[in-house]
Amino acid sequence: MPELPEVETTRRGVEPHVVGKAVTEVVVQDARLRWPVPPDLSRTLSGQTIIAVTRRGKYLLFRTTRGILLVHLGMSGSLRVVSAGAPRLPHEHVDIVLGAVAMRLRDPRRFGAVLYTEDEAMAHPLLRGLGPEPLSREFDATYLHRQSRGRRGAVKSLIMDARTVVGVGNIYANEALFRAGIRPGRAAGRLSRNDCDRLVKAIVATLEDALREGGTTLRDFVNGTGEPGHFAFNLRIYGRTGEPCCTCGTRVRATRIGNRSSFFCSSCQR
DNA sequence: AAATTCTCCTGAAGGC
DNA sequence: TGCCTTCAGGAGAATT
């Protein structure tokens, strides 16, 4: 599931192949993504040169002098660079063709998005209101502590809420809480200042470790050049229901929080 | 205001 | 073997 490490891995993978190139055309095989791919996208984008590839949360931003192509990978999306005109496999819905190469979006579950805006980036409705980047200085214990005050909901839901901090999805939320020794169901408002400090450090460390491994591939994810990520081997708690905790041997328990599967060690996490 | 539920979608896995 | 149900999840929208 693309979370920050997967999206950033994708960004790094495609960036060198697309910056400085002009869009030749956009070929849409199936426009039915989370929102329809704009019908005039090919006409709008053709001729525009990509000057930078940035990321905000889980959104990829392909900047041109005129506007921004926004790409979100949803939960099963992947974007890779292929030869223009390479045979299309199932679920490969959109090609952003740049001369001899193309960025190709594959998205079996079609929860992803391909949009275009000429607004200033952060004014876009999907980007406005996003919380800080987890790997920025702004995301620290003081900030998280302040955000958590008065919250009776689960801390796991709080850190997965993009208004609190971007880029943390279900897998890394589970992993970070395990590393911090905090139960996912704990009321956010009951976190001590020290809990927040450990949790922020755990989130940062988890994301950085995953980034180093090129992200997590459970099923669909591949990077900008089609390679899977290897962090799945490092998952300590996610998906390990019934297995012994890697730290203390207690059986890993599963529960649902905010309609998302959650895993924890009842001994290591309080 | 915060918290919860619903919704989109398809493939895999389990049950009978 | 085959059909049916359940589950997985990002995150905006709707609801409580």
* DSSP sequence for A165-212: SSS--HHHHHHHHHHHT--TTSBGGG--HHHHHHHHHHHHHHHHHHHH
The pLDDT of residue A259 is 87
Q: For residue A90, say whether its CB is under 7 Å from any atom of strand B.
A: yes
- Around A204, how many Cα atoms within 13 Å sit in the side-chain half-sphere? 17
Q: For residue A258, say whether its CB is under 7 Å from any atom of strand B.
A: yes
The pLDDT of residue A172 is 93
* Residue A37 CA distance to nucleotide B10 C1' (Å): 19
Total-model pTM: 0.95
A231 Cβ neighbours under 8 A, 6+ residues apart: A5, A209, A210, A213, A214, A215, A216, A217
* Spans of chain A, pLDDT less than 50: none
Q: What is the pLDDT of residues A209-221, one digit of tens each?
A: 999 987 777 766 7
Q: Which CA-bearing residue is nearest the C1' of B7?
A: A34
Chain B footprint positions (protein CB, under 7 Å) = 2-12
The pLDDT of residue A219 is 67
Q: Are strands A92-98 and A113-117 parallel, antiparallel or unpaired?
A: unpaired
